């Protein structure tokens, strides 16, 4: 039997790297992407594809490379991205544009480049790496939450629209996961300046965010959920990949009035 072909964007680090390594060990034909590694190089034991996901031409070249080699992509994992921190008021339109290009528009473009071959091959799985933060606004992560919420909403529609071709769409919502994200995260320029009214509390919250990631769960928990989705006959829409307390917060957010839920959030992440 032909091995299923998986393409994971952002296969060079963190969740993407762990997913590629795990799926390779499970017998899948895996390709990961990176901006910095040439097509076909195997620094992690599986072939890489050079791709800047905010550049249309680069996406097309990368997808064509895999299709030329394999003739198909059965599973696409839109993972490449990072975190964002800073106050909403401090975010410039240019910064918001950069973040939405990376987290929302890029996932749409990569997906649209892969769908025709999935349709031709009679089906596929699209798995978008979202975040627990997509479900509610967290202090100093408003732009990030907004971008991941947008990713979740278009994924829901895509799932409906692609169902006639046997292509399923799911999102995974990780909580804190121990990756390189503390080094790659975008911080908003103004929030890092003492003139910002948020400077003091933002710096304190940012230290807390970094600390929580540094002691968080291993990315293998996300990789195993990706495998579960691939092997499932009928994948669900969304899968949390988070600690008990973060999964509990998702439940609380669903059952409590937002005003009450925000009182709890402010205890954990004070805004003053």
Ligand X SMILES: NC(=O)c1ccc[n+]([C@@H]2O[C@H](COP(=O)([O-])OP(=O)(O)OC[C@H]3O[C@@H](n4cnc5c(N)ncnc54)[C@H](OP(=O)(O)O)[C@@H]3O)[C@@H](O)[C@H]2O)c1
Q: What gap in Å lies between CA 110 and CA 136, rounded to an integer?
A: 26
Q: In the complex with ligand X, which residue's Cβ is closer, 79 or 196?
A: 79
CB distance 206 to 85 below 8 Å: yes
Residue from 19, 176, 226, 230 touching ligand X (CB under 6 A): that is 176
Q: Which stretch binds ligand X (CB under 6 A): 175-183, 191-199, 247-255, 258-266?
A: 175-183
Q: In the complex with ligand X, which residue's Cβ is closer, 84 or 196?
A: 84
Q: How many CB atoms lie within 10 A of CB 193?
A: 11
Which helix (H) or strand (E) segment is 172 a member of? strand 167-174
Q: Footprint of ligand X on residues 180-219 (CB under 6 A)? A: 180-181, 184, 213
Q: Which stretch binds ligand X (CB under 6 A): 89-97, 117-125, 159-167, 169-177?
A: 169-177
Which helix (H) or strand (E) segment is 168 a member of? strand 167-174
Q: Footprint of ligand X on residues 105-134 (CB under 6 A)? A: 129, 131
Q: Which stretch binds ligand X (CB under 6 A): 163-171, 172-180, 193-201, 257-265?
A: 172-180
Which spans in the chain are helix H? Answer: 14-25, 56-70, 93-100, 106-120, 142-162, 181-184, 199-214, 220-231, 244-255, 258-268
CB distance 64 to 125 below 8 Å: no
Least distance to ligand X from the beta carbon of 265, Å? 17
Q: Footprint of ligand X on residues 32-61 (CB under 6 A)? A: 34-36, 51-54
β-pair partners for 174? 241
Helix (H, G, I), strand (E, B) or coil at 220: helix
CB distance 226 to 15 below 8 Å: no
16 counts as binding ligand X under rule CB under 6 A? yes
Least distance to ligand X from the beta carbon of 203, Å? 20
Give whole-number Cα distances, 179 to 15, 44, 183, in Å.
7, 16, 9
Residue from 47, 62, 83, 235 touching ligand X (CB under 6 A): that is 83
Q: Which stretch binds ligand X (CB under 6 A): 22-30, 78-86, 113-121, 258-266?
A: 78-86
Q: In the complex with ligand X, which residue's Cβ is closer, 16 or 235?
A: 16
Binding site for ligand X (CB under 6 A): 10, 12-16, 34-36, 51-54, 79-83, 102, 129, 131, 174, 176-177, 179-181, 184, 213
């Amino acid at each position: 039997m032909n091995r299923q072909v998986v393409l994971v964007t952002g296969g060079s680090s963190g969740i993407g790297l762990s997913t590629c390594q795990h799926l390779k060990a499970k017998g899948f034909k895996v390709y990961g992407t990176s901006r910095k590694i040439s097509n076909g190089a195997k620094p992690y034991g599986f072939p890489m594809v050079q791709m800047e996901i905010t550049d249309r031409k680069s996406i097309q070249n990368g997808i064509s490379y895999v299709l030329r080699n394999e003739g198909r992509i059965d599973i696409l994992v839109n993972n490449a991205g990072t975190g964002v921190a800073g106050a909403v008021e401090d975010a410039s339109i240019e910064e918001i544009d950069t973040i939405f290009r990376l987290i929302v528009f890029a996932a749409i473009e990569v997906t649209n480049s892969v769908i025709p071959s999935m349709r031709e091959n009679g089906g596929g799985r699209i798995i978008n790496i979202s975040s627990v933060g997509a479900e509610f606004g967290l202090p100093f992560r408003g732009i990030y939450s907004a971008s991941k919420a947008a990713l979740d909403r278009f994924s829901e529609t895509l799932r409906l629209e692609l169902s006639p071709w046997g292509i399923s769409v799911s999102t995974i919502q990780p909580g804190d996961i121990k990756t390189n994200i503390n080094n790659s995260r975008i911080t908003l320029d103004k929030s890092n300046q003492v003139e910002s009214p948020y400077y003091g509390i933002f710096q304190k919250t940012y230290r807390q965010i970094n600390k929580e990631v540094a002691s968080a769960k291993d990315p293998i928990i996300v990789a195993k959920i990706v495998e579960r989705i691939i092997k499932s006959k009928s994948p669900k829409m969304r899968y949390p990949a988070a600690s008990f307390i973060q999964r509990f917060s998702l439940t609380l957010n669903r059952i409590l009035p937002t005003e009450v839920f925000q009182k709890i959030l402010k205890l954990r992440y004070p805004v003053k």
